[in-house]
Structure formats: structure tokens, C-alpha cells
Structure 1
Amino acid sequence: MIPAPLVVDVRRGALAELGGILADQRISPGGRVAIAVGATYGPTVRKLFADAIDGHGLAAADWFTVEGGTINTAVRLVEQVRLRRYDAIVGIGGGTVLDVTKFAAARLGLPMVAVATNLAHDGIASPISTLDNDAGRGSYGVPAPIAVLVDLDLIAQAPPRSIRSGIGEVVSNLSAIADWEAAHRQHGEEIDGLAVSLARTSAQAVMNHRGSIADDDFLVTLTEALVLSGLAMVVAGTSRPSSGACHEISHAIDLMMPSRRAHHGEQVGLGAAFAWWLRGDEQAFHATVDCLHRHGLPVRPADLGFNLVEFTEFVTFAPQTRPGRQTVLEDLALTIPQLTEQVHAFNDHAYARITNDGVIQ
């Protein structure tokens, strides 16, 4: 049996129907839930329910504000919520709020409902909570959300850069799949065909869509892709279908330059483009660079604010972020001079691709 959300609701005005959805799905018939919100959108969300006569069916809910995406923040939320009895815990916010809420729900043994206010990464429906800790940043296995809501009215208020980040997150799936398939062929690693299909379908849907983040149709496609990506990890029981060399590079940036790290999706999108370059897959490299550039995402280290020496250092360190995971970085095991040469060549070809008239439509 594969655990999947009872409901995935993506539309304008979805947030106002939260109470009804919780009751209809028997998650919380009486609306007795703990609701975690972030400091940024929390006041807006709370006002929406306060202005309704019956609180949209959530008059019995208690509200908690999440500040920061650390393991300590998650533990603090656990301590606050466990003081009363609830049917479920609802996270309303961006990736940070959802990750904190997922971790807290796991500790409390409560079902978790994810209400996303931006589309920055595939944590919306994933069984993974990414939180900062004393050692830097860690990923923790948690139960996937029991329900997922995305209100496009709230998404429209999110910073465009955070939405574009979600594109990079989904596009990187294809590179992660290539790493997983190679590990299966060359090292006998077990692979799950359904997880691969879900992750690949989500990436292709976004890459082949000609719309932009200004279009509701594209936002629905992106949201569904992020949910499918999360479900791929549920099916696989690991982050493998969505995390390969692309994510190792991103983790290296987070650990080595925490004060200068960009959005997660921006980093893994660029990491995926570089991984395709290392594999020598010209078609996939061009398709990835074209998609990233079309949506205004970074395609060269300089676009992330790093020089080529720094990026080479990230790539060199990257395999250490996921010991035991086999990707193109581990398979090639390039020396520092070889990596330096590859980074410069990648940078030159990416630049040539995005400046060649007629290439980007």
C-alpha cells in the first residue's frame, strides 16, 4: 500500500474551504486542529478566518506562529501543541513552515495538513523535513501530509523568485533519475519504477509547458508536479527520485557558504545543468539550460553570486554531503584540475547557449 494524500486541492480560494475539507475527509469534523503559520503571512491568514462569522469551520482551532526553520523551532512547536488535544496539525506557509510542521506532527503522532503559500520546492507533499541544526542543515524522515491545499490567490502574493525556485526543483528530477538509473545499472542499487515515473512525469510537465508563473494554468501544472515529486519520494521510501548530484552540490553550498546560499530550487537547478554537462548529454544539458533561462533561473555560477573557483570547491566537496549515494560525481571521481576544467567549460557553454540568438524562444 502506498500512502497518498486524501485530497489535493489546487485553485483560487482553496484556503477558505479548509474547514470544510477537514470535515468532509474526516480529518477533523469539528475543526479542532492546531494551525502553524509563519510570521510573514500568518497575520493575513488569521484575518481571513477571523473575518468569517464561523471562522470557516475552524473557530475551535488554535494558532501558533513559527519563526525560523530550525530543529529547535520544531521542538518548540511540539512543546506548545502537546499541551492540548487536537485531531491534526495544519501548516500554512512556505517551505520553512511546512517542514517545521511536518517534523512536529511526526513527533506528536498527528496527521499533518499542508497548505502552501508558495511553490519554492517539492516539500509540499514529501516525507522529508529539512531543518537547520547545529551542524548546518539536515533532512529528517517524516510521514507525508494527509492533505495538500494550494490557494492560487496566496501564491500570487508570494515573491516571484520563490515560485521560480520550484521550477528548478522539479526540473532537477530528470538529473536525479539519471543518477539513480546509473547506480542501478553499474552498482546494482535497487530502483523503483513507479517512483521514477512520477518524478519524470512531473519534470517533463513543467519543462514542456510554455506558460510562465504569471499564468494560473502553469501554476497548477507546477503545483501538481511538486506534489507528484513528493509522492515519488513516498513511493521510493527515499529522496532518490528527486535528489542526486544536483542536490549534493546544493547541500555543499548550504554547508560551505550558509550566509550566501540562494533558494534551494535555484541551486539544484544549476546543479542539474552541471550534472548533465558532466554526463556529456548535450540534449539534456541544452533542454535544462533553456528551461532555467526561460524562467529567469540561474544557469551559471555567477548567477548565484559565486565565482568559478568557489563553484569548483562546492562540486569537490559535494559527494561528502551524502555518503554512500552514487551519482555522476562519485562515478567520475574527477581530480581538482579536471573539475576546474569541466566547470570552466560548463560555464562557457551555458553562456553561449543563452546568448545565441534564436536559441531561447
Structure 2
Amino acid sequence: MPLLARLIPAPLVVDVRRGALAELAKILADQRISPSGRVAIAVGATHGPVIQETFQHGLVGADWFTVDGCTINAAIKLVEKIRSQQYDAIVGIGGGTVLDVTKFAAARLGLPMVAVATNLAHDGIASPISTLDNDAGRGSYSVPAPIAVLVDLDLIGHAPPRSVRSGIGDLVSNLSATADWEAANRLRGEAIDGLAVSIARTAAQAVIDHPGSVSEDAFLTTLAEGLVLSGISMLVAGNSKPSSGACHEISHAIDLLYPERRGFHGEQVGMGAAFAWFLRGDVDKFNATVDCLYRHGLPVRPIDLGFSLEEFSEIVGYAPQTRPGRFTVLEEAALTPERVVVKVADFNDQVYARTHPAPITPEGRILD
């Protein structure tokens, strides 16, 4: 009987711990990615010089390049700089901006890419997608996933706490995204990948259930591994559906309608997921999502993102247009503009009630 199996281009190495960056040269050699250490290293303009100064002796054969912005033009400029020399691979050391630009450049040059994350703001660490700004706003580009992923907790400790917390929102939104995909399968017969769903859902649930915070290594390790798994779930599926549903449509609408006011991606999709669970009427998932976001200091109401209820209603109404053909609870609900206003107001009230419970006297009476 034939044995059938799928081949998944997952990373050769996933290393999450303190001091991981110091092992980069050894990993490149041991995995035959670059035995000579002849690689191009891309870093950001802010923290890149510090990283280069402290690490440049670890790979004497490497050349260093600075990424200037998270745009398609910045990625093309990096391509032009790198293609004049011969390299075994490209290494991106930085946050989402550096990694997205480096992944795109590596794809254009046909070189393997190694991701060294200095932040945990979203699940792009190991994903086959680069999100870059372009003349039309912001676009997602398919690219090969990194061949190796390193997360140095020493570097993560220097990242702004708000940006690290953003990764929690991005990962938690997987539960809502997979619910959208399952609904598309149930109601429209859309093909679904059970393995991708399992990976994405398990990664998200691990963070929701973890009692720690971003100040603890154990929690950061769970978050980092979850974000890597989220990226791998997209590799398995061949698309972003395990981690992108109504939550991301709402985020994309914010980016397009209010580009000057957009926040961290994970903040936006986290609250988008909470709103999606509210629309589905799933009280348990709604409560769990709101509780997790609130406990970690993430936005839970439109005002927390800087939007009035009227503005958020506009965002929700526009959101389905951001992903034509993607079926989510927003498309399923087919809300009229009037109903959107009502739902947003009800959502806001429910979140406030959940996060600001009325005090109760010893006799069991609720105080106003």
C-alpha cells in the first residue's frame, strides 16, 4: 500500500532562548546554509548599528546593510545593494519591518533567508508573507518562508513592551480566523486544511491559557513559539486563512481609511477578533478573548485604539472590501450600515461590562 505524505518547507532550525544570536555562525555552518559565513545581514536603522557593533566579529565574512522603511521600494533598494556581490544567504536581524523587507529581497534574489527576531509584534517571523507599504496603501506578498528562525530573548527584552504585547493580539486572533475558515467550509464548501487549523489554534490557545506576562521568559518563549507556529500554519495551508479572517479585514480597513492613525497590527487584529466573536454570539470565546487582551494591556474597545464608535462603525462597514472573496463572519452577517452602528455600540457596552464589573456588597447586592 502506498504511503502518502505531504512535504512542508518548514524551517531547518527554530531556536528560542537567551543568547541565540551568538550561535548564528554555528547554525549557518552546521546546517550548511553558509559554511563560510559569507552572508548579507540586513538590520534596522535604529538598533542595527548597536547589533552590528556587538556582533560583527561573529561573522567576519558578512556584509551589513541597513533597511530604511517597510516599503516595497525599501525592499527593492536592498535587492539592488545585495545583488552586486555573491552571498550564500540573507540574514534579517530586527523586528517585523526588517524581516518583511529581507524576506522579500531574498525571494527576488533566490537566496535562503534566516530570520533573527528582535521583537514579537506579529506572526511574520516564520510566515511565507511579506507585508509592505506600496503606492496603493499596504500589500501582502507571497515569499518563501525563512530557512531558520532565531529568537534571542535578550534582544526581545530591549523591545518596547507595547510592541511585544501586540504579538499576543495577533496570535489570539487565530482562534477567530480559524472559526471563519470553518464557517466558509460549512456554509460555502470551501476547502479547509485541518492540520493548518490545528497548528494555528493550538498556538493561540497556549498563549490564552498561559498565566504569565511579557516580563517572564516562560511566557515570551510560549509567545515566540506560538508566533512561529502561526507562520508555519500558513505554510501548511498555502495561504493566510489559518490566521487571517474578519479580525484582519478590520485591521486592513483601519490601515486604508486611517493610515495616519493606525496602531500596531496585533492591537488592531486582537480587538477585531473580539468583535468577530461578539458577532458570532459565542459568549465563551468572546469573554476569553477580551479577558486575555485586557489582562495584557491590549486595546479592547474602539476608544482604546483612538476611534470613536462612529469611526469604528465606518471601519467595520468597509472591512469586507479589503479582502474580496474572503468569507468571514462579516460577510456572513451582511450587516446594513444601520445594523453596524447598533452592533458596534452593543459590542462596546459588552466589553466595558466585562472589563469593569459592578462591585458587589458582602450581601451580594450590585452597587451602581
What is the TM-score normalised by the length of structure 2? 0.95
**2-side partners of 1:206 and 1:6: how far apart?**
24
- 2:365 is aligned to none
Q: In the TM superposition, what whole-angstrom CA distance separates every residue of 1:245-301 from its partner, at most 9, and x where no partner exists? A: 000000000001000000000000000000000000011000000000000000000
- 1:142 is aligned to 143
**1:172 counterpart SS class:** helix
1:21 to 22, 27, 44: 27
- 2:9 is aligned to 3
> What displacement does 1:357 show?
6.0
Q: In the TM superposition, what whole-angstrom CA distance separates every residue of 1:293-341 from its partner, at most 9, and x where no partner exists? A: 0000000000000000000000110011000000000111110100100
- 1:243 is aligned to 244
- 2:55 is aligned to 49
**1:242 counterpart SS class:** coil
- 1:169 is aligned to 170
- 1:114 is aligned to 115
> What displacement does 1:80 show?
0.4
> What displacement does 1:93 show?
0.3
Q: In the TM superposition, what whole-angstrom CA distance separates every residue of 1:50-89 from its partner, at most 9, and x where no partner exists? A: 4xxxx22x10000000010000000000000000000000
Q: Which aligned pairs between 1:264-283 and structure 2 lie closer than 5 A?
A: 264-283=265-284
Cα pair distance change 1:358/1:2, threshold 3 Å:
farther
**2-side partners of 1:43 and 1:106: how far apart?**
25
Residue identity in the other structure for 2:263:
A
Residue identity in the other structure for 2:45:
A
Whether 1:35 aligns to 2:41 is yes
Q: In the TM superposition, what whole-angstrom CA distance separates every residue of 1:193-220 from its partner, at most 9, and x where no partner exists? A: 1000000000000000000000000000
- 1:298 is aligned to 299
**1:212 counterpart SS class:** coil
- 1:186 is aligned to 187
Residue identity in the other structure for 1:257:
Y
Aligned residue-pair number: 354
**2:26 counterpart SS class:** helix
> What displacement does 1:41 show?
1.2
- 1:219 is aligned to 220
> What displacement does 1:108 show?
0.2
**2:346 counterpart SS class:** helix
Unaligned runs of 5+ in 1: none
Cα pair distance change 1:203/1:358, threshold 3 Å:
farther
% same residue: 74
**2-side partners of 1:189 and 1:224: how far apart?**
29
> What displacement does 1:43 show?
1.0
**2-side partners of 1:87 and 1:358: how far apart?**
63
**2-side partners of 1:275 and 1:342: how far apart?**
11
**2-side partners of 1:49 and 1:311: how far apart?**
45
- 1:92 is aligned to 93
**1:210 counterpart SS class:** coil
> What displacement does 1:129 show?
0.2
**2:133 counterpart SS class:** strand
**1-side partners of 2:277 and 2:213: how far apart?**
24
> What displacement does 1:133 show?
0.1
**2-side partners of 1:49 and 1:256: how far apart?**
41
Residue identity in the other structure for 2:50:
T
Larger CA Rg, structure 1 vs 2: 2
Residue identity in the other structure for 2:314:
E
CA RMSD of aligned residues (A): 1.0
> What displacement does 1:185 show?
0.3
Q: In the TM superposition, what whole-angstrom CA distance separates every residue of 1:219-244 from its partner, at most 9, and x where no partner exists? A: 00000000000000000000000000
**1:92 counterpart SS class:** strand
- 2:363 is aligned to none
Q: Which aligned pairs between 1:124-143 and structure 2 lie closer than 5 A?
A: 124-143=125-144
Residue identity in the other structure for 1:179:
D
Cα pair distance change 1:46/1:301, threshold 3 Å:
same
**1-side partners of 2:191 and 2:145: how far apart?**
22
**1-side partners of 2:359 and 2:219: how far apart?**
23
**1:317 counterpart SS class:** helix
**1:150 counterpart SS class:** strand
Residue identity in the other structure for 1:166:
G
Whether 1:205 aligns to 2:211 is no
Return structure 1 stretches of 4+ with deviation > 6 angstroms. none
> What displacement does 1:358 show?
8.6
**2-side partners of 1:41 and 1:102: how far apart?**
19
> What displacement does 1:17 show?
1.1
What is the TM-score normalised by the length of structure 1? 0.97
Residue identity in the other structure for 1:200:
R
**1:240 counterpart SS class:** coil
